[in-house]
């Protein structure tokens, strides 16, 4: 559910305990990524093209599992240098697994989105972020000619023309300084499931 009031008590608890991280690209450099059986779909369709699950992992911060992240690409075992390419369709799917996610968008996401979106679209994403709760699913999908689309629980949030927004998300998780090296390894298939 996207539109509901947020209690002041929730804001206080979240702000004190986890206020400095974000859903995708948060805090401290290398919190562990844990192994778990696959719960993400093996394939998704993007503009008529089938993308396959390339890798997935769980992002943990301070021993708390925050979200499950999956990367989808046209084929398995693509090298990292081929993934961040405007000709390559790609998608991320994130599922919130923490029962009380923070209300405030973390700095890494704020910087990524702020640089690529208009003020109006940025405010829309920021306001929607406040309403995220456990089991919500966020998808970021890119296809050449269609741009980057973001949806939450299947509800379209925005479309950004071009490749810039997806390039920023790819860099956040797979770039030279990713949110977590363990999660990067899991997403790129560098780890066969026993991810730490």
| Average pLDDT of every residue of the chain | 74
Instruction: Report the pLDDT averaged over residues 122-132.
Output: 75
Ranges 28-42, 122-136, 168-182, most confident: 168-182
Above 90 in pLDDT, residue 70?
yes
pLDDT confidence tier of residue 20, bands split at 50, 70 and 90: very low
Residue 73 scores a pLDDT above 70? yes
User: Could you name the CATH architecture of 8-187?
Assistant: 3-Layer(bba) Sandwich (3.50)
Band of pLDDT at residue 31, cut at 50, 70 and 90? very low
For 165, the enclosing helix (H) or strand (E) is: helix 164-174
Sequence ranges of the domains in the chain: 8-187
Q: Which of 9-13, 109-113, 139-143, 156-160 has the lowest mean pLDDT?
A: 9-13
Coil, strand or helix: which one is 141? Answer: strand
Per residue in 106-119, pLDDT tens? Answer: 676 677 777 777 78
Count the residues in the chain.
196
Over residues 78-84, the mean pLDDT reads: 84
Q: Which pTM does this prediction carry? A: 0.72
For 57, 58, 141, 183, the CA distances from 186, given in Å and listed in that order, are 6, 9, 19, 5
Cβ–Cβ under 8 Å, residues 102 and 61: no
């Amino acid at each position: 559910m996207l539109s509901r009031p947020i209690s002041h008590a929730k804001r206080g608890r979240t702000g004190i305990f986890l206020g400095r991280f974000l859903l995708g690209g948060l805090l401290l450099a290398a919190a562990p990524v844990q192994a778990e059986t696959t719960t993400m779909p093996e394939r998704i369709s993007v503009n008529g093209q089938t993308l396959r699950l390339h890798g997935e992992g769980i992002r943990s911060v301070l021993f708390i599992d925050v979200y499950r992240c999956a990367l989808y690409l046209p084929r398995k075992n693509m090298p990292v240098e081929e993934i961040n390419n405007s000709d390559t369709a790609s998608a991320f799917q994130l599922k919130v697994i923490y029962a009380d996610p923070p209300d405030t968008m973390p700095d890494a996401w704020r910087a990524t989105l702020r640089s690529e979106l208009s003020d109006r679209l940025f405010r829309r994403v920021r306001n929607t972020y406040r309403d995220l709760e456990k089991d919500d699913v966020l998808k970021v999908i890119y296809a050449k000619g269609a741009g980057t689309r973001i949806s939450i629980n299947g509800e379209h949030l925005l479309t950004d023309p071009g490749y810039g927004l997806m390039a920023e998300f790819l860099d956040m998780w797979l770039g030279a300084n990713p949110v977590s090296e363990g999660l990067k390894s899991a997403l790129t298939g560098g780890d066969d499931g026993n991810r730490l």
